[in-house]
């Protein structure tokens, strides 16, 4: 495969490397992800994260394994192992479905390589289209609030919700971005703050529980988030804490937008209740770990409930911004996500 480079993925000499997102922003470290075991480990540890990026990394690895001579049967097993690595992020399932079709072509090696590279290029184009469509909803002087990380670190392109914000900033529409720290793994504090700083977008970092007081003071004009899965009725699974923001935004009369590519849609999932929610390790809540080391603040035997995602009902969402354009609540009520229009 040709040499390839995105913000978080790198292919060099038939080897796949991922940017360690657990080490950022203190350290920029590229880790080998050239085996199924290695990539699954990175996905579980969130060293590679973001729904689009997880799907793309798995697709690239399958193509590289094919080029190294793995048999069709071996690749089929690898595909299903990768599919099971992150149950909530449907981009992974959608990308692997396309790779599976390529796998069963007669000349499957070049077919897998071509499909993986096509997915990378499509993601870049999808991000650009989302950014353009979403920025049309941003008013001059906007103070925007975002949660988790949805930029170039999580995609092959400029990002989803953060791509919208960056594009709107380039148009002079953004006066400030409130960045939720995003407990418990601090993707906002570590990653989104870093990306916005690199882009020159003015931001202020806040702890998650500060959002309500900011909204009450009239300091937030809109909320922008990404998605890991959009159900047929418009319900959205995203990083834990998203639902809280949606409820707060609704109460304060603030528009709440979801930005995602069409690969995040799951028309076979009827509603949010049917979305599988990953439970993660208790250690993420009982303390903190990173390139700086680890510390535990909770009692050793503390019981922990730690879902990685929550579900925001469609009724709380002002608009779904896809690469195909803005989808309104009325369109969703009329079955937009259930039919072929999506």
**Residues contacting 245, CB < 8 A, separation 6+:** 145, 147, 180, 211, 223, 225, 256
| Residue at token pair 């409930």 | 305
**CB-based contacts of 192, cutoff 8 Å, min separation 6:** 146, 148, 149, 150, 151, 162, 179, 182, 203
Residue 333 in tokens: 């009520």
- Cα–Cα distance measured from residue 247 to residue 173, given in angstroms and rounded to the nearest whole number: 25
From 180, 208, 228, 266, the catalytic residue: 228
Tokens linked to 98 = 């396309």
228 belongs to the catalytic site: yes
- Rg, C-alpha atoms of the chain: 19
Burial class (CB in 10 A: 0-12, 13-18, 19+), 301: exposed
How far is residue 10's CA from residue 19's CA, in Å, rounded to a whole number?
A: 8
Alpha-carbon span 44 to 173, nearest angstrom: 37
Structure-token pair, residue 47: 């060293």
Q: Which residues are catalytic?
A: 228
């Amino acid at each position: 495969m040709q040499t390839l480079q995105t913000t978080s993925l790198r292919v060099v000499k038939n080897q796949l490397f991922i940017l360690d997102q657990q080490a950022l922003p203190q350290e920029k470290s590229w880790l080998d992800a050239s085996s199924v075991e290695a990539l699954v480990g990175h996905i579980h540890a969130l060293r590679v994260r973001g729904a689009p990026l997880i799907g793309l990394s798995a697709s690239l690895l399958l193509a590289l394994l094919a080029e190294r001579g793995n048999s069709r049967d071996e690749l089929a097993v690898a595909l299903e192992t990768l599919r099971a690595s992150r149950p909530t992020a449907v981009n992974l399932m959608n990308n692997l479905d396309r790779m599976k079709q390529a796998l069963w072509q007669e000349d499957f090696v070049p077919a897998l390589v071509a499909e993986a590279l096509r997915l990378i290029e499509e993601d870049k184009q999808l991000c650009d289209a989302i950014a353009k469509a979403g920025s049309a909803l941003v008013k001059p002087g906007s103070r925007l609030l975002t949660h988790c990380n949805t930029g170039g670190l999580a995609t092959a392109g400029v990002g989803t919700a953060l791509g919208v914000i960056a594009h709107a900033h380039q148009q002079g529409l953004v006066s400030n971005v409130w960045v939720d720290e995003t407990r418990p793994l601090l993707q906002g504090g570590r990653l989104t703050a870093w990306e916005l700083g690199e882009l020159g977008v003015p931001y202020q970092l806040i702890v998650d529980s500060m959002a309500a007081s900011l909204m009450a003071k009239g300091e937030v004009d809109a909320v922008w988030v990404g998605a890991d899965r959009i159900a047929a009725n418009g319900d959205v699974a995203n990083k834990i804490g998203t639902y809280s923001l949606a409820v707060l935004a609704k109460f304060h009369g603030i528009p709440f937008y979801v930005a995602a590519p069409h690969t995040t849609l799951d028309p076979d999932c009827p509603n949010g209740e049917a979305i599988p929610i990953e439970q993660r390790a208790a250690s993420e809540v009982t303390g903190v770990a990173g390139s700086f080391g680890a510390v535990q603040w909770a009692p050793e035997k503390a019981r922990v409930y730690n879902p990685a995602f929550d579900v925001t009902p469609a009724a709380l969402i002002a608009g779904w911004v896809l690469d195909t354009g803005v989808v309104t609540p009325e369109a969703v009520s009329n079955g937009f996500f259930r039919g072929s229009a999506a």
